[in-house]
């Protein structure tokens, strides 16, 4: 059995046996969300279309009619076909239109970008640096990667 922590030729520079203080972690915490469209969140129903099966003549079927004419949530939809088999009706909605959950889609609007000392085992120094925005965080991450690459080049990969 292969030791999962044994370095390979491709990653011989990474040593999980190093103490936590030898690492730096970068992260983001979302602090606010904003409404989004199905297209914004790449909703699978918007992308592929969807089938909705309900009992024919039920309150659920009336709700589908309200959702299609826009009176349920203000978004108009068009079903492509309706098939009835016994007591159930199946509506096929083609791709490219909002799903029934469109009003609940959200995307991150604001986040707290940070880096800290340590890794998954902890933050031994307690240092947490909060960045002013994603650009500052990205720049710090890039500089950190360049420092690591320089150290690997200078001191060797193994």
Confidence at 8, pLDDT banded by 50, 70, 90: very low
In a domain, 138, yes or no: yes
**95 and 67 within one domain:** yes
Look at residue 96 in the predicted model and tell me its pLDDT. Answer: 92
Confidence at 15, pLDDT banded by 50, 70, 90: low
Q: What percent of the chain has pLDDT over 90?
A: 28
Confidence at 11, pLDDT banded by 50, 70, 90: very low
In a domain, 60, yes or no: yes
In a domain, 147, yes or no: yes
Domain extent at residue 66: 44-100
92, β-bridge pairs = 51, 81
Q: Over the stretch 100-147, which tens digit does the pLDDT of each residue have?
A: 898 899 988 877 888 888 887 888 888 888 888 888 889 998 998 898
| Domain C-terminal end among 59, 77, 100 | 100
When the pLDDT of each residue in the chain is averaged and rounded to a whole number, the result is: 83
| Domain C-terminal end among 76, 100, 124 | 100
In a domain, 4, yes or no: no
Look at residue 42 in the predicted model and tell me its pLDDT. Answer: 92
In a domain, 31, yes or no: yes
Q: What b/e sequence results for 36-66 when a residue is b if at least 16 CB atoms lie within 10 Å of its CB, and e otherwise?
A: bebeeeebebbeebbebebeeeeeebeebee
How wide is the angle at C-alpha 34 spanned by C-alphas 63 and 105, nearest 5°?
35
**110 and 91 within one domain:** no
**Eight-class DSSP state of 122:** B
Q: Which of 44, 39, 60 is nearest to 93 (CA)?
A: 44
Q: Over the stretch 41-69, which tens digit does the pLDDT of each residue have?
A: 999 999 999 999 999 999 999 988 888 88
Phi, psi of 113 (to 5 degrees): -100, 135
Q: Is the pLDDT of residue 26 over 70?
A: yes
| Domain C-terminal end among 69, 85, 100 | 100
Q: Over the stretch 74-102, which tens digit does the pLDDT of each residue have?
A: 888 888 888 998 899 999 999 999 998 98
The tally of domains found in the chain comes to 2
**129 and 92 within one domain:** no
Q: What percent of the chain has pLDDT over 70?
A: 89
**88 and 50 within one domain:** yes
DSSP string, 58-119: SHHHHHHHHHHHTTTTS-----SEEEEETTEEEEEE-TTS--TTGGG-EEEEEEEEEEEESB
């Amino acid at each position: 059995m292969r030791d999962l922590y044994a370095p390979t030729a491709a990653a011989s520079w990474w040593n999980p046996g190093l103490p936590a203080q030898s690492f730096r972690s970068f992260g983001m915490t979302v602090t606010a969300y904003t409404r989004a469209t199905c297209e914004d969140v790449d909703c699978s129903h918007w992308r592929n279309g969807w089938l909705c099966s309900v009992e024919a003549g039920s309150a659920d079927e009336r709700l589908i009619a309200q959702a299609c004419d826009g009176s349920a949530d203000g978004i108009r939809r068009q079903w492509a076909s309706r098939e009835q088999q016994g007591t159930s009706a199946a509506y096929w909605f083609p791709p490219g239109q909002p799903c029934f959950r469109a009003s609940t889609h959200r995307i991150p609007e604001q986040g707290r970008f940070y880096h800290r000392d340590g890794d998954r085992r902890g933050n031994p120094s307690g240092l947490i640096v909060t960045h002013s925005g994603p650009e500052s965080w990205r720049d710090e991450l890039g500089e950190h990667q360049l420092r690591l690459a320089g150290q690997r080049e200078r001191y060797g990969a193994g």
